[in-house]
C-alpha cells in the first residue's frame, strides 16, 4: 500500500512541481533511475517469493543508486563516461530481465 501511494505521490509531485534537474546531477539521474528500477524489480521478486524485507530493499536501493552514480562519476573522470554508463546500464538491464523472468515464472509457471 505504502509503495503504491509513494508512486502516485512521486508522479504527481514531478508533474506539478516541474523542477529542472541541476546541471551537476544530470549525468547521474538516468543511471540512478535504472539502478533503482533494478532494486524495485528485485524487491518485487522477493515479495513474490514471500521473503521481502524492507531493510534489504532500502539498503539495496540506496547502494545501487550510489554505486551507479559513483561509476558514472568515475567514468567521467577517466574520460570513458559514456562507455561506462553503457556498461552499467547493460548490467543492470540484464539483472532486471533476470528478475522479471523469475517473477514471470512464478506467476505464469512459464
Is 82 a binding residue for other proteins by CB under 8 A? The answer is yes
Q: How far is the CB of 109 from other proteins (least distance, A)?
A: 28
Q: Shortest CA distance to 3 belongs to which of 69, 63, 52?
A: 52
Sign of torsion over alpha carbons 16, 2, 103, 36: positive
Q: How far is the CB of 31 from other proteins (least distance, A)?
A: 11
Using CA atoms, how far apart are residues 12 and 18, in angstroms rounded to an integer? 10
C-beta of residue 45 within 8 angstroms of C-beta of residue 9 = no
Q: Binder to other proteins among 48, 73, 81, 91 (CB under 8 A)?
A: 81
Is 76 a binding residue for other proteins by CB under 8 A? The answer is yes
Q: How far is CA 43 from the centre of its chain?
A: 11
Is 2 a binding residue for other proteins by CB under 8 A? The answer is yes
Residue 36's Cβ-count burial label (10 Å; 0-12, 13-18, 19+) is middle
Residues that bind other proteins (rule: CB under 8 A) add up to a total of: 36
Residue ranges that bind other proteins, judged by CB under 8 A: 2-3, 5-11, 13-15, 18-21, 23, 26-27, 29-30, 32-33, 36-37, 40, 43, 54-55, 57-58, 61-62, 76, 81-82
Amino acid at each position: 500500500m505504502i509503495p503504491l501511494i509513494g508512486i502516485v505521490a512521486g508522479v504527481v509531485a514531478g508533474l506539478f512541481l516541474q523542477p529542472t534537474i541541476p546541471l551537476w546531477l544530470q549525468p547521474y539521474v538516468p543511471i540512478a533511475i535504472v539502478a533503482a528500477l533494478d532494486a524495485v524489480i528485485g524487491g518485487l521478486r522477493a515479495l513474490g517469493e514471500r521473503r521481502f524485507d524492507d531493510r534489504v530493499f532500502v539498503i539495496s536501493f540506496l547502494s545501487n543508486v550510489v554505486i551507479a552514480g559513483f561509476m558514472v562519476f568515475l567514468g567521467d573522470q577517466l574520460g570513458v563516461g559514456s562507455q561506462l554508463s553503457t556498461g552499467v546500464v547493460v548490467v543492470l538491464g540484464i539483472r532486471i530481465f533476470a528478475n522479471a523472468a523469475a517473477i514471470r515464472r512464478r506467476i505464469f509457471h512459464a
